[in-house]
Amino acid sequence: MGIAPVYGLANDDSHNYFGKGGSSPGRGWIMTRARFLTPESIINAIMAGDFYASSGVTLEAVRYSPGSGMLELDIHPEENTRYTTRFIGTLKGYDPTRKPVKDRHGKPLPVTQRYSDDVGKVVATVEGTRPAYRLTGDELYVRAVVTADRPPENPSFPSQKAQAWTQPVGWRRRIAPVDAKTAPPRRPEIRKLGTLDLDLVEATPVVFRDRLYRFEYVRKEYKSNTTGDTCFRFIDVETGAATPEFARGYDLGCAHVEGGTMWAFGVDQWDGSKIAAFRSTDLKAWEQHPALELPGWGLFNTSVCKAGDRSIMAIEVGRPPEVVGVPFTTRFAESTDLKSWKLLPEDRVFTKERYSACPSIRFLDGMFYMTYLETKPGPRYETHVVRSKDLVRWESSPLNPILAASDADKKIANPKLTADQRAKIAAAVDRNNSDVDFCEYRGRTIIDYSWGNQQGTEFLAEAVYDGTLANFLRGFFP
């Protein structure tokens, strides 16, 4: 049909609220993968289909990678319980025959129809607590049904078994494309989740050892900074736990993962001329290396990506005038070991003609994709995306901007924010969406960004694109 599926729910009628007789509660529910235990966070997860239904089986994780086509489940094991998972799908070329359900007089009932056995057939059955299925490309969708060999706590019918049902995956690539002749191209849909913190700006979401972290540049005046200086840290997004601070005295950092090593980069001071590299394999002990020194230059934000057999660093430069033209400008450096860097020739630049700050760079399909901050009349500040094969000639997305100030910036994504903090958010001037950075985690693109007045009152916020990073970037260049 070329449209998205309807998500599956489990719930109760609950006509008989007390006791276990009749239509009593606790027989069906959904489990959401929500960041926080708040109505906003739970609703966001439901709207994204990031939940599963259950009558008594608990899933510790549901992972789907659009790239590999692998659907994986981690089932929470209960003592003396065996689990069988059926992966159910409908394949290309299925028999679409359907028949109405009729009453005893032969009159069709206004209910769902009966479909052929090709619709929703079992494509694989796996025993155990770590079932997985790799889509072959023939499936229109696949979902998983987990069945335990024990009954639920309050069975609805004799011989009922406890179960869990996941949402279908693999269907997004089947959605009919928009007819370019009759409709304009659609930009990738970014959902703003809301504000995470105050007085934090530069942050990088990264995946390290299969966990999502947020690298944070902590300013000296940040409320919980007890170091007496600027520093860097990582936040485990799932638990909220912070790693030990490091890189004291350094500013405007970014993070990059290479294999089992986490790298961070920062300038020696705002408008400084030196960039340092920090590396760690456990986020606790850090080595420091001099990365790049450009005497007489004023350096600010950086971003790093892997590009074949080398790494590329995008560097925000504010001076001297003969280098930057109209500040700010992005220059580029390369490295083969991430420790020592070499500035690329001056024609590798974006752009000396206008304000272009806060770069974040990625490499995909032989091209560099870079987001940056563009200034507009008002003033207001928007994040745009460009791409280039050689860092010399740049193509701007026809769908820019990718992020701009909106009321959704002021939603509350962190339930730990105090009443005073929430009041400050509500009253703040919002004229920018800046310092965007992003990564892919479990098939979705996680986006961190800053909003505020671009004059010192700034907030850290989060957004998400429900698809891979590759699809996110490609989607802005139809």
Domain CATH code at residue 41: 2.60.40.10
Residue 272 in domain:
yes
Residue 470 in domain:
yes
Residue 456's nearest CA partner among 431, 437, 478 is: 431
Residue tagged 């005295």 (tokens): 249
Torsion from C-alpha of 108, 112, 113, 115, nearest 10 degrees: -170
- Give residue-wise pLDDT tens across range 241-266: 999 999 999 999 999 999 999 999 99
Residue 456's nearest CA partner among 203, 214, 194, 221 is: 221
Reduced to 3 states (helix: H, G, I; strand: E, B; else coil), residue 57 is: coil
* Residues 388 and 415 reside in one and the same domain: yes
Residue 105 in domain:
no
d(CA 81, CA 237): 32
Query: DSSP assignment of 330-391, as one string?
Result: EEEEEESSSSS-EEPPTTSEE-SSS--EEEEEEEETTEEEEEEEEEETTTEEEEEEEEESSS
* Residues 167 and 199 reside in one and the same domain: no
pLDDT of 180: 44
* Residues 149 and 206 reside in one and the same domain: no
- Exposure on the CB side of residue 317, measured as CA atoms within 13 A: 29
d(CA 284, CA 306): 24
pLDDT of 184: 63
- CA distance to 87, 162, 223, per residue, from 78 (Å): 21, 12, 43
Q: Are strands 342-343 and 190-198 parallel, antiparallel or unpaired?
A: unpaired
Residue 180 in domain:
no
Range list of β-strands (E), 209-308: 211-218, 231-236, 251-258, 261-267, 274-280, 287-293, 298-307
* Residues 151 and 202 reside in one and the same domain: no
Residue 6 in domain:
no
Reduced to 3 states (helix: H, G, I; strand: E, B; else coil), residue 45 is: helix
Residue 116 in domain:
no
* Residues 245 and 390 reside in one and the same domain: yes
Judge whether 447 and 439 are in contact, CB under 8 Å.
no
Point out the domain boundary residue: 174, 203, 235.
Answer: 174
Residue 427 in domain:
yes
* Residues 256 and 291 reside in one and the same domain: yes
Please report, in tens digits, the pLDDT of each residue of the chain (478 residues total).
567 788 999 888 777 777 777 788 888 999 998 877 878 788 888 888 889 999 999 999 998 887 788 999 999 999 999 999 999 999 999 999 999 999 889 898 888 789 999 999 999 999 999 999 999 999 999 999 999 999 999 898 899 999 999 999 998 777 655 444 555 667 899 999 999 999 999 999 999 998 999 999 999 999 889 899 999 999 999 889 999 999 999 999 999 999 999 999 999 999 999 999 999 999 999 999 999 999 999 999 999 999 999 999 999 999 999 999 999 999 999 999 999 999 999 999 999 999 999 999 999 999 999 999 999 999 999 999 999 999 999 999 999 999 999 999 999 999 899 999 999 999 999 999 999 999 999 888 999 999 999 888 999 999 999 888 999 999 999 9
Residue 47 sits at φ, ψ, to 5 deg, of -65, -30
Reduced to 3 states (helix: H, G, I; strand: E, B; else coil), residue 452 is: strand
Rg (C-alpha) for the chain, rounded Å, is 26
Residue 282 sits at φ, ψ, to 5 deg, of -135, 5
CATH number of the domain at 286, please: 2.115.10.20
Evaluate the omega torsion of the peptide bond into residue 131 and state whether it is cis, within 30 degrees of 0. Answer: no
The reported pTM is 0.75
Structural element, H or E, at residue 39: helix 39-47
* Residues 243 and 165 reside in one and the same domain: no
Task: Report the domain count for the chain.
Answer: 2
Contacts from 259-266 at CB under 8 Å and sequence distance 24+?
A: 260/209, 262/206, 262/208, 262/234, 263/304, 263/338, 264/215, 264/232, 265/291, 265/302, 265/304, 265/313, 266/217, 266/232, 266/302
Residue 144 sits at φ, ψ, to 5 deg, of -120, 140
Give the amino acid at 295: P
* Residues 282 and 358 reside in one and the same domain: yes
For 367, other C-beta atoms within 10 Å of its C-beta total 17
Residue 118 in domain:
no
Structural element, H or E, at residue 421: helix 419-427
* Residues 325 and 464 reside in one and the same domain: yes
d(CA 152, CA 145): 15
- CA distance to 96, 269, 420, per residue, from 108 (Å): 19, 75, 60
Q: Which residues of 242-267 are buried (b: 16+ CB within 10 A; e: fewer)?
A: ebebbbeebbbbbbbbeeeebbbbbb
Residue 140's domain comprises 29-91+123-174
Reduced to 3 states (helix: H, G, I; strand: E, B; else coil), residue 297 is: coil
Structural element, H or E, at residue 425: helix 419-427
* Residues 136 and 266 reside in one and the same domain: no
* Residues 224 and 162 reside in one and the same domain: no
* Residues 134 and 200 reside in one and the same domain: no
pLDDT of 178: 46
